[in-house]
Structure 1
Amino acid sequence: MVDEEIVVDKLRHINEYTEDLKQMRGMSKDKYVNDVVIQRAVERTLMNLIQSCIDLAQHIRAAENLSPSGTSKKEIEALGDAGIISDETQARMEEAVGFRNILAHRYGDVDHDIVYDVLHSDVHWFEQFQQAVAQWFQDRDAT
């Protein structure tokens, strides 16, 4: 059974991290690329945001007895397969999981231009994920 407290807590974290990232927007790419403190703040917030999405997906997958667990991408895939999130949101969130692995484990050098672009053009996918899960949870509780 899905634990309401866990779902609400993870949705709150996703919202907070998303809002934090929105506040970090607006600087020029040149300023971002040359400011290691800002880079670290953005990267850490992105990692926390993506991990919160994974944790939420994992909880729902396990509680709802969806497909077997596996990788973090499989946790996201389970929500897509169950119709909780759209195919497009699923694909973007799976990409985010790979991106988190790059940031967290420093596979090669982090491309700060890419991180800047994610900050300015991809944050809405996390909002889509959050809204879809919240809607599913609300609809589920209503029945």
Structure 2
Amino acid sequence: MIDKSLIERKIDIILENLKYLQDVKEIQKDSFLASFEKIQATKHSLQESIEACIDIANHVIASMGFERAETYADMFERLAENGIIGKKLRDKLMNMAKFRNLLVHAYGKIDIERLWGILQEDLEDILSFVKEIERFLEENE
């Protein structure tokens, strides 16, 4: 059974982090690249947002009895296979899950230019995931 309140708490975490990331997105690139604090906070906010997406995916997979995913990226494959998210969003979220692994396990090797690119171009993907999950919750009440 889907625990709607658990998912809503995870969505709140995502939205809180996205608000911060949207603010950082508006600063000048040179200012961002020169600010250790902004870079670190951006890494953490992205990691927390992605992990909340993964937690939601894991909960939906387990609650709905879908085939178990072997990796975090595979969780988004399972959601797409079962019609919860589209294939284009699946691909983007699978890449986000892989980036999360870099943030956690290869944190000293993060390409700051790539981080800036994600900040500028990919935040909408996380918001799209939230919208798809909210749609799924409405359809399964």
Contact map agreement 1:11 1:134 (CA 8 A) in 2: no
Secondary structure of the equivalent of 1:24? helix
Q: Which runs of 4+ in 1 moved over 2 A?
A: none
Query: What TM-score, normalized to structure 2?
Result: 0.95
Match of 1:137 in 2: 137
User: Is the counterpart of residue 93 in structure 1 residue 89 in structure 2?
Assistant: no
Query: What TM-score, normalized to structure 1?
Result: 0.94
- Percent identity over the alignment is 24
- Tell me the distance in 1 between the aligned counterparts of 2:106 and 2:32: 18
- Tell me the distance in 1 between the aligned counterparts of 2:26 and 2:133: 29
Structure 2: gaps (5+ residues): none
What does 1:1-143 correspond to in 2, within 5 Å?
Answer: 1-106=1-106, 109-141=109-141
- Tell me the distance in 2 between the aligned counterparts of 1:99 and 1:41: 16
How many residues matched?
Answer: 141
Contact map agreement 1:29 1:113 (CA 8 A) in 2: no
Deviation at 1:108, TM superposition (A): 5.7
Which moved further from structure 2: 28-37 or 82-91? 28-37
Structure 1: gaps (5+ residues): none
Which moved further from structure 2: 49-58 or 20-29? 20-29
Greater RCO, CA 8 A, separation 6+: 1
Q: Deviations over 1:60-117 (max 9, x none)?
A: 0000001123211121111111111111111000000011111111266211111011
